[in-house]
Amino acid sequence: MNTDGQNMYHLAERLFPICRSITGNGVRDTLDILKSIYVNMNIYEVATGTKVFDWTVPKEWNIYDAYIANAKGEKIIDFKQQNLHVVGYSLPVDKKVSLNELKTIIYTQSDQPDVIPYVTSYYKERYGFCMSENQKQSLVEDEYHIFIDSKLKDGNLTYGEIIIPGETKEEVFLSTYICHPSMANNELSGPVVAIHLAKWLASLEKRRYTYRIIFIPETIGSITYLSRNLDYLKQNVIAGFNLSCVGDNRTFSYVESRYGNTLADKVAKNILKYYYPDYKTYTFLQRGSDERQYNAPGVDLPLCAICRSKYGEYPEYHTSKDDMTLISPDGLQGAYEVYQECIMGLEYNDKYKINCLCEPQLGKRGLYPTISQKDTYNEVRTMTDFIAYADGSNDLFDISNIIGVPVKKIISVVDKLIQNNLIMKV
């Protein structure tokens, strides 16, 4: 049934095995596959050493193989089976170590003894391995061979950018990230939903807004992107969303912008209120993804995040349990629909004003019942309520909030009233 959901899930399956990081060929391979879904994507490379605000683009990291073998030569962990086994950005190593020495470079998640944690060390050069706490506990005295075949050297940071032009230069901005190795909800769900939104947006007959969708490494990627585009974004972005953790089917979550008061927040709260009334709200204190950069003082983009189970808030987060069984076609589909509704609401979002004084006579236009009996008034309630607040001071979302009717339903009323020349945009 959910063709889009199925397609998104299948795409995630293709992308899942790739070992991504904030730089390197895993990012390039991922972007190539995404580009095969939506071809008009520009891919950019930013050289190691480039200053980006307070940061510097780091060396490029690539990894080819890694394992720990015991004295018998048996691999007790193998990067080729599970790329989370290696600490991201690990230096190459090839030596024999005792059990004690081995333990100093092993990371586990002690409160979840059966999972392999996701660990990185982007800005301090080291090497390390991740395994389950159970496995670590079972290790015996032995001479271990630790081997990482990686390269950390000058190269580039890679990201993708899609621009889908609209009638105006004003933009809706979507950002998602492609820097996580084999984890599903966080983060393949964001890229696969984003690329399908791109396809859908491009298929629309017309678009009022221009849509900008970027696929970047988290933190350093958004900082890099902002350092190259900030002035333009500040002038043109009317609303933006960070797409992350949009693949499971357990709940919806909304993460406020810095003050929770941007147009994006207004849209997110309104759409979720009707689509999934039990959605959870997180303040900006509970932020954790690239909304940190987009909402930083001086950046101040009107951006919030809509997730399914939010990063940091579900037990599988940043572990080997965040695998393809955690996300589902339905989960992806739900997020996809919510973002579609947000976008359609934005496309229709105007302040409207009724063209006559007092209530219009809807009856003579066939928009009102001709017989007046108790309760007949209720039948056209949405229309009369919309008209009552179409006073030029409220936008579509304001009216939806005031009259308690989803934007989707109001849009059809707006169309009827415009056909009858009863309202105009302010």
**Contact positions toward its own copies, by CB under 8 A?**
53-55, 87-88, 107, 109, 117-124, 126, 128, 219, 222-223, 226-227, 230, 258, 284-285, 287-288, 292-293, 295-300, 312, 317-319, 353-354, 356-361, 363-364, 370-374, 377, 384-385, 387-392, 402-404
For 273-331, give the DSSP string. Answer: HHH-TT-EEE-GGG--STHHHHTSTTT---EEEEESSPTTSSTTTTBTTSSTTT--HHH
Nearer to its own copies, 229 or 340 (CB): 229
Nearer to its own copies, 85 or 196 (CB): 85
Minimal distance, residue 285 CB to its own copies, in Å: 6
Amino acid at position 238, single letter = I
On the CB side of 395, how many CA atoms lie within 13 Å of its CA? 11
Nearer to its own copies, 129 or 336 (CB): 129
- Asked if residue 338 lies in contact with residue 306, where contact means CB atoms within 8 angstroms, the answer is yes
Q: How far apart are CA 203 and CA 162, in angstroms?
A: 14
C-alpha torsion sign, points 195, 196, 199, 202: negative
For 330-368, give the DSSP string. Answer: HHHHHHHHHHHHHHHHHHH--EEEESSSS----GGGT-S
* Beta pairing partners, 215: 160, 176
Nearer to its own copies, 99 or 388 (CB): 388
Nearer to its own copies, 145 or 287 (CB): 287
Q: How far apart are CA 186 and CA 195, in angstroms?
A: 16
Q: How far apart are CA 408 and CA 400, in angstroms?
A: 9
Nearer to its own copies, 70 or 382 (CB): 382
The strand order across the sheet containing 93-98 reads 75-78, 60-69, 143-153, 93-98
Q: How far is CA 56 from CA 28, 220, 263, 409, in A?
A: 20, 8, 32, 48
Nearer to its own copies, 145 or 258 (CB): 258
Nearer to its own copies, 89 or 215 (CB): 89
